Amino acid sequence: MSPRTNTAAAAGTWRLGDLTVNRVGFGAMRLTGTAPFDHGVPRDREQSIGVLRRAVELGVNHIDTAAFYFSATRSANELINRALAPYPEDLVIATKVWPGRDPSGAWWWAAPEQLRGQVEENLRQLGRDHLDVVNLRVPPSRRTGSIGEHFAALAELRDAGLIRHLGVSNVTCEQLAEARAIAPVVCVQNPYGIGASDADRALLRRCGELGIAFVPFFAIAGPGREAGPAPGDSEEIRAVARAHGATPAQVRLAWTLRQGPHVLAIPGTGDPDHLVQNVAAGALRLSEEEMARLTAAPPQTQVGTRPSA
């Protein structure tokens, strides 16, 4: 590898427990193909490996992944292992459990006693003896229910040394409080971006009060979610992008990072040029007037979702 340039540090750093990460990270979902969860066109393997290595060269030291990030011929975890092992000492890899997919790609949801198997699957694929961060990804059907039994099962795996730190994903403020009563929580990973709801904003603020990292996903994709950025960014976003000679995606990321010093970004891509643009967004500084205009922009209509979302 060529010498690292710490471009990803332009937006500053935050701590996940005792681990310090640059606020601009990388999401691995799109490494596996143009349709990450389907039998779409697979990414070129060497290109995906090159993107991961380039991300690290640019200073990315926080990668978000999952064992269920795979397409017909690609596995995100295995690509990460191939590209980056032996891993840099400062690299933090976060994964998530509760949802799973069988070899055919069909979704299933783990019972508490099955979470150990999901954790061990991630360990095998990544070639690790322990996982830095494991997020409990809450299914849509449990958005108003208890997550205590599942989170307690992960806390036991943390005590056993298989996991270093715990997080939660797709949760409410009440579920965050429930989890924190069981074991320390270092991050909350929820959908968030321009047009976020009042409830989403309240959770982001609560994380800031508690000193917990808030890690939004779909910050670029917005309502497009797994399908990628929806066409037709608002005129507010396009105008700010033009003013800065930036892309709408970069404006979305810059706006998200301005929501608080505890907010991390994990934009994902399999395209080397998009990677460079995403990392560079950490250095984009929006004015207070631009922030206000973007915050007031009407939300876009959400398109299709996946069972894991």
Q: Catalytic residue positions?
A: 69
In 3-state terms, the chain is what percent helix, strand and coil (to 5)?
40, 15, 40
- What is the Cα–Cα distance from 140 to 148, expressed in whole angstroms? 16
DSSP 129: S
Q: CA Rg, the chain, in Å?
A: 18
Mapping DSSP to helix (H, G, I), strand (E, B) and coil, where does residue 112 land? helix
Rounded to a whole number of angstroms, the distance between the first and last alpha carbons of the chain is 35
Question: Cβ distance 266 to 39 under 8 Å?
Answer: no
- Quick one: tokens of 235? 């005129």
Residue 95: in which H helix or E strand, if any?
A: strand 92-97
Number of Cβ within a 10 Å radius of residue 236: 17
Residue 239: in which H helix or E strand, if any?
A: helix 235-244
Place of tokens 């017909």: 72
- Quick one: tokens of 298? 């009407």
| Whether residue 3 has a cis bond before it, omega within 30° of 0 | no
Question: Cβ distance 266 to 215 under 8 Å?
Answer: yes
Question: Cβ distance 116 to 161 under 8 Å?
Answer: no
Half-sphere exposure of 62 (CA within 13 A, CB side): 25
Measured torsion, CA atoms of residues 157, 160, 162, 165, in degrees rounded to the nearest 10: 70
Residue 167: strand pairing partners = 135, 187
